[in-house]
Amino acid sequence: MGSTVNVSDLLNQSYDLTDEMITQFRRDGFIKLKNVLDEATFAYYGEAVTRQVLANNKLEGIAMEDRDTYSKAFIQVGNLWEKCDVVKEFTFSKRLAKIATELMEVESVRLWHDQGLYKEPSGGFTPWHVDQQYWPMLTDRSVTAWIPLQATPLEMGPLEFGAGSQRMNIARELEISDTSEGVIDKAMERYHIPKIMEGYELGEVSFHLGWTLHRAGGNVTNKVRQVHTVIYMDGEQRMIEPRTKYHQADAAAWTPSTGIGEVMADEKNPVLY
Ligand SMILES: O=C(O)CCC(=O)C(=O)O
């Protein structure tokens, strides 16, 4: 009798990190891991993510030439897990959450939010930036799992990282824009920060810290670059007093019941590992 393999099994199986991988992540602020997921996962869960991204696409019908740099870069739809139970199963993967926990060297992780980032054919570059400038978090323990739902060669706009940039306080106040692209690029040259950009194989997933500089090139293929992301924070992460309009907006969107100084334990922030 053959045994049935459920498509969700892989999402809950352990992916074993080596000590070298954890050391590399601590040094570089990012890591790309091969064979984290597989084709069957993408066929089932990827389809559900795509359905939600298309159903909630606010850029529908707006021509590329009429958009600003940010909205040329991708269609962005957040908290997909609240909209669809299949996506919830994907976002709540213990396999991914365990990797995030071990890379951040913390005891547990909570969900900050998930989002689809779909770069359309002829979609523009994603400017250099750091994510954590938007988030009112006390410590640097936040990490994004960037999960391409197809192999992503250079022409499709994979992520590019500034290795070790999480330790350097560069342009942390700059929102994602043409200005951040130019200013950060110059600073990276000045401080000799290595820029690392490689395509992603099918099943490869990267993890980057909230303070790691990153960007992506444009999509010059005729296929959409489909990416799901899951953003984790330390299970003990606390909220600081919002300092910017982005802090305020993100606190309201992703952790509405958390008060200043409290652990961010809203019902939107379940412990995932
Ligand atoms: O997908 C992209 O082009 C950019 C993604 C990004 O900046 C992120 O996930 O932090």
Helix (H, G, I), strand (E, B) or coil at 12: helix
CA–centroid distance, residue 215 to ligand 1 (Å): 7
User: Is the CB of 30 within 6 Å of ligand 1?
Assistant: no
pTM: 0.96
Asked whether residue 260 is domain-assigned, the answer is no
In ligand 1, the atom with minimum distance to the C-alpha of 115 is 9
Asked whether residue 269 is domain-assigned, the answer is no
Instruction: Count structural domains, the chain.
Output: 1
**Is the predicted pLDDT of residue 128 greater than 70, yes or no?**
yes
The whole-number average pLDDT for the span 107-126 is 97
Asked whether residue 78 is domain-assigned, the answer is yes
CA–centroid distance, residue 264 to ligand 1 (Å): 23
User: Is the CB of 231 within 6 Å of ligand 1?
Assistant: no
The CATH code of the domain that includes 70 is: 2.60.120.620
Structure confidence by residue, pLDDT tens digits, 187-231: 999 999 999 999 999 999 999 999 999 999 999 999 999 999 999
User: The tokens 């952790």 sit on which residue?
Assistant: 255
Domain that holds residue 145: 23-254
185 alpha-carbon distance from chain centroid: 21
Which helix (DSSP H) or strand (DSSP E) does residue 191 occupy?
Answer: none
Burial pattern 231-261, b for ≥16 Cβ within 10 A else e, equals bbbbbbbbbeebeeeebeebbeebbeebeee
pLDDT bucket at 5, cuts 50 / 70 / 90 = low
CA distance 212 to 93: 24
Q: Whose CA is nearest to atom 9 of ligand 1?
A: 146
Asked whether residue 137 is domain-assigned, the answer is yes
Asked whether residue 243 is domain-assigned, the answer is yes
User: Is the CB of 74 within 6 Å of ligand 1?
Assistant: yes
**Is the predicted pLDDT of residue 1 greater than 60, yes or no?**
no
User: How deeply is 140 buried, as exposed, middle or buried, from its count of CB atoms within 10 A (0-12, 13-18, 19+)?
Assistant: middle
